[in-house]
Structure 1
Amino acid sequence: MRTHLTRRLIAASSAVVVTLGGAATFAATTATAAPSGSTGAGAGVSLLSRVDAAGQQAALAYWTPERLAQAVPVDRVVTGRGAGAPGTAATLGTPAPAAPSAPAAQPRSTSATTGDAPVLPRGPRATAGVVTGDAVSTARNWTGPALPTVGRLYFTQGAGQFECTASSVDSPKGNVIATAGHCVTEGGLDSKNLVFVPGLAGTSQPQGQFAVGQTFTTTQWRTGDQQSAAALNYDVGFALVSPRAGKSLKDTVGAYPIAFDSPLSRVTVLGYPGRSRTADGFTLQFCTGTEFTDNGAGGTSDVATLCDLGGGSSGGPWLRDVDPATGSGTLTSVVSFSYDDNASVLYGPRFGSVVRDVYTRAANA
Structure 2
Amino acid sequence: MTLSTPLLAAAPLVAGLMGPALIGATPAQQTPAQHSAERPAATRLTRVAPRTEILEHTAARTSADQRRVLGYWTPQRMAGALPIDLLGTVTKDGGLLSGLTNQSGLAAAPGLTGGAAKVATPRRQSARPQASTSGSRWATGGAVARTTGRVFLTIGGVDFVCSAGTVKSANRDVVVTAGHCVKDGTGAWADNWTFVPGYEAGGGKPFGSYTARRMFVAGPWSREANDSYDVGMVALNPSASGRHVSDVVGAQNIAFNASRGTQTYGFGFPADPPYDGEQLVYCSGRVKQDPYGQTRDQGLGCDMTAGSSGGPWLSGFDPATGQGAVTSVSSFKYSDDQRTMWGPYFGDSVKALFSTAERA
* TM-score between both structures, scaled by the size of structure 2: 0.72
In 1, Cα distance between equivalents of 2:353 and 2:169: 13
- Which of 307, 327, 331 is 1:312 aligned to? 307
In 1, Cα distance between equivalents of 2:242 and 2:165: 20
Seq. identity, %: 35
In 1, Cα distance between equivalents of 2:135 and 2:107: 27
Q: CA offsets per residue over residues 103-125 of structure 1, 9 Å max, x none?
A: 626249xxx878xxxxxxxxxxx
Structure 2, gaps ≥5 residues long? 1-24, 29-47, 98-104, 114-130
- Which of 277, 297, 300 is 2:295 aligned to? 300
* Equivalent AA in structure 1 for residue 254 of structure 2: I
In 1, Cα distance between equivalents of 2:354 and 2:304: 25
Structure 1, gaps ≥5 residues long? 5-38, 80-85, 92-102, 115-134
8 Å CA contact 1:156, 1:191 repeated in 2: yes
Structure-2 change in CA distance of 1:195 and 1:89 (3 Å)? closer
Q: CA offsets per residue over residues 9-54 of structure 1, 9 Å max, x none?
A: xxxxxxxxxxxxxxxxxxxxxxxxxxxxxx5499410102332222
* Equivalent AA in structure 2 for residue 360 of structure 1: S
* Equivalent AA in structure 1 for residue 68 of structure 2: A
Residue matched to 2:271: 274
- Which of 302, 323, 326 is 2:318 aligned to? 323
8 Å CA contact 1:178, 1:315 repeated in 2: yes
In 2, Cα distance between equivalents of 1:75 and 1:44: 31
Shift of 1:275: 4.4
In 2, Cα distance between equivalents of 1:357 and 1:191: 21
Residue matched to 1:190: 189
- Which of 132, 157, 160 is 1:159 aligned to? 157
Q: CA offsets per residue over residues 126-172 of structure 1, 9 Å max, x none?
A: xxxxxxxxx98331111111511000000000110000000001101
In 2, Cα distance between equivalents of 1:268 and 1:345: 13
SS at match of 2:246: helix
Shift of 1:70: 2.5
Residue matched to 2:76: 66
Alignment of structure 1 residues 352-363 onto 2, 5 Å: 352-363=347-358
SS at match of 1:289: strand
SS at match of 1:68: helix
In 2, Cα distance between equivalents of 1:313 and 1:144: 19
In 2, Cα distance between equivalents of 1:75 and 1:262: 34
8 Å CA contact 2:272, 2:305 repeated in 1: no
Residue matched to 1:336: 331
Aligned residue-pair number: 285
8 Å CA contact 2:95, 2:188 repeated in 1: no
Q: Structure 1 runs of 4+ off > 3 angstroms?
A: 1-4, 39-43, 71-79, 88-91
* TM-score between both structures, scaled by the size of structure 1: 0.71
Residue matched to 1:118: none
SS at match of 1:148: helix
Alignment of structure 1 residues 121-132 onto 2, 5 Å: none
- Identify the structure with bigger relative contact order (alpha carbons < 8 Å, sequence gap 6+): 1
8 Å CA contact 2:51, 2:219 repeated in 1: no
8 Å CA contact 2:53, 2:219 repeated in 1: yes
In 1, Cα distance between equivalents of 2:69 and 2:174: 18
